[in-house]
Amino acid sequence: MCQEQKGFTIWFTGLPCSGKSAIADRVAEILREHNLKVERLDGDVVRKSLCRDLGFSREDRNENIRRVTFVAKLLTRNGVVVLTSFISPYREIRDEARREIGDFIEVYTKCPLEVCIARDVKGMYQKALRGEIKEFTGVSDPYEEPLNPELVLETYQESLDESAQRIIDFLKKTGYLDHNF
């Protein structure tokens, strides 16, 4: 499609089960269909490899995001579209990621807690509500909503494809993708 692909990072943030991974996977699929170089960095996958030594304290969560930021920065500067899906509950570390990466698009997958609980196929929310999981975002640990994300996807009101299309439209409008995409 294009000779010199410009790298950028789309940083999906939101409560567990708010739709981050599903939307990021769908956007990655669309971008790959257009022969773009795309890399997915997903919280569950990264936690099993790059960050398996970390727990869920605030310090460990921040270190997790710092490591992911480093990888995303390297990929971005080498012309790769990076789609991350991390709860990344704290504003300060998301802002740090934005400064480090540069070409950074924050996408907030906004979804009410009750809907996230209903979507939870792993039963993590129920365990957290019973006190079996400590430091669970949205239950016993805070989630700090983004103040000025580039996009807010109200995932409880729009379909997966509608959310993905909103991202593609944003990328075209802002010049990250060619208008003929």
Overall average pLDDT of the 85-105 stretch: 94
Pick the catalytic residue from 18, 85, 88, 163: 88
pLDDT at position 1 over 60: no
Q: Which residues of 54-92 are buried (b: 16+ CB within 10 A; e: fewer)?
A: bebeeeebbbbbeebbebbbebbeeebbbbbbbbbbbee
Range(s) of the domain holding residue 37: 8-173
Please tell me the predicted confidence (pLDDT) of residue 135: 84
Overall average pLDDT of the 103-130 stretch: 93
* Tally of domains within the chain: 1
Q: Give yes or no: 88 in active site.
A: yes
Tell me, yes or no, whether 20 lies in a domain. yes
pLDDT at position 115 over 70: yes
Over the stretch 50-64, which tens digit does the pLDDT of each residue have? Answer: 666 776 777 887 788
CATH code, domain carrying 86: 3.40.50.300
Tell me, yes or no, whether 34 lies in a domain. yes
Overall average pLDDT of the 116-136 stretch: 90
The pTM is what? Answer: 0.91
More reliable by pLDDT, 103 or 46 = 103
